[in-house]
Structure formats: C-alpha cells, structure tokens
Amino acid sequence: MKISELYEKKKRSLSFEIFPPKKDSELKNIDATLEVLCELKPDFISVTFGAGGSSNYNRTIELARKIKYEYHVEPVVHLTCLSYDRAEIDSFIEVLNSEGIQNVLALRGDRNPKLPEKDDFRHASDLISYLKQNGDFCIAGACYAECHPESENRVSEMKYLKRKVDAGAQLLLSQLFFDNEKFFHFVDDCRIAGIDVPVIPGIMPVINAAQIRRMVTMCGASFPERFQKIIHKYEDNREALFDAGMSYALSQIIDLLVNDIDGIHLYTMNNPVVAGKICEGIRNII
C-alpha cells in the first residue's frame, strides 16, 4: 500500500522510525523490537539508510522486507543520493520493485568526507524527480521545522521545499523539534508557499542527554527553556530523565494532536519501551 492513501482518506497517521543494526548478528535480534513496535499497529515504519552500501547488500532493504512480509506493516525506505550515480540508483529502484516496496523517503544525505560526492543528484529534489520518472512509488520528503542547517533563511528553505513537492513528494516528514510553536509557524509558511501536502511532525523523546545534544547539534533544533530545565535537572539521573523526557514528548504530541496535525512520526531509536509508553498515553486521542 502507498502511504499517501492514508491522507487521501483523511486518516491521521502514527508511524515509527528505526535504524538497521550495524552488525549482521544484531540484525537477527531486532525481531524483539519489531514485535513490540508492530503490535502497536503503526501505519508505517521508516527505515534509515546507511550510505555507501550497494543495493545487493543493504541492511535497510533487508529490514524493510522483514517489516513488510513478516510483520505486515508498510515500510518506508530511506534512500540518499549524494554519493550515488544514476546507475546505482537504478539498481536500488530495481531491488525496491522486486521486493514490492512502494514507499520511499528521498533524501540528499549528509555530506561525509569518507564518501565521494557524485554529480548526478545534488539535491533531494533531483532524486525525487528521478524516482517519479522511473518508478511507481509514494515519495516522501524531509523537512525542518526550524530550517535545514545549510539554508540561508526561511524564504530559501520554502523555495527548496516547494521544489521537492513540485518534483513529486507526496508528504513531508519533519526532523525532530522540541518547540511546537515553531512547527505550527512552519506549517503556516508551507501553506503560504503553496505546499499543500501533509506535513508530519517528527518527535524524539529525551531519554539520553548526550545523545539528544548530539542530535540537536546535527539538525539545528532549538532548546525551549522548559526543555533545558529537564536536561539540566535530570541529566545525571537516568531514570528521572527517562520519565521527565517521556512526559515532555507526550505533552508535545497531545498538543500537536489537539491542533489537528496530519499524524505523528516517532523517532524510536530502536527502543520499543519508548514507543509503547507513548502509544499508551495517546491511545484514545489519535
């Protein structure tokens, strides 16, 4: 099923993101995580992409196949393009088609000095356009509630985001953020810019202070004062930080749902306990 059908039916989605384990031995152990996540009945699960692997040996595709055929949940495969040429992307398209995987999150990918950049796809919009021309996929694009770290300003951000949608992106999944007002303003700006596809907020519960600081540095999300107080007060108390972080994320999600957003995309960090507690807290309101 193409996940765009969810929004055509005006359904509000619940989805998770997971990442493939780095070792083959760990890939076998991910079933315990998937069993818990899939029992929560998400509309889809997105699987992050490790650049540099070939289509014939790619844990993202292997994990997506498992999600679709063993757990009967729609996978969304992340696909980056900055370090691939057309022939390599064609190979990925062939494998996705052969596996019956219909949903792709098309990304430029982070710059990595260890991986040479190629010239065929310089932007995510280039990949989106190519996928649209050479396959029958539902294509999602990424967005940043507080602007991509490389953006000059919000006007430039909207210009490039509109280019993604015009190229064929049918929904947008946001990077993590901790201030809902910034997300609401972002969606307003999208609508003013003529971006009318569903915009799904991405939420990451704070359960590890060092990890969250690293993620915030990478994606440019701001720290609201209330959020800072949680980190400062509980960063040396693992259990207290977990409880406070989960409460903060749950309050974010409830506020988003009350304001009629299109869905919730939860960054699980492969922690099924996190997903389970969030779903328990919103069971009757999503």
Q: Which residues have a catalytic role annotated? A: 17
Strands (E), 72-211: 74-80, 103-107, 138-143, 171-176, 199-203
Listed residue (187, 81, 94) closest to 125, CA to CA: 81
Alpha carbon of 85 to those of 81, 93, 131, 159, 228: distances in Å? Answer: 8, 12, 13, 25, 42
The pairing of strands 138-143 and 171-176 is: parallel
**For residue 216, what are the contacts with CB-CB under 8 A and spacing of at least 6?**
176, 222, 223
Return left, alpha or beta for 75; rule: phi > 0 is left, psi -120 to 50 is alpha, else beta.
beta
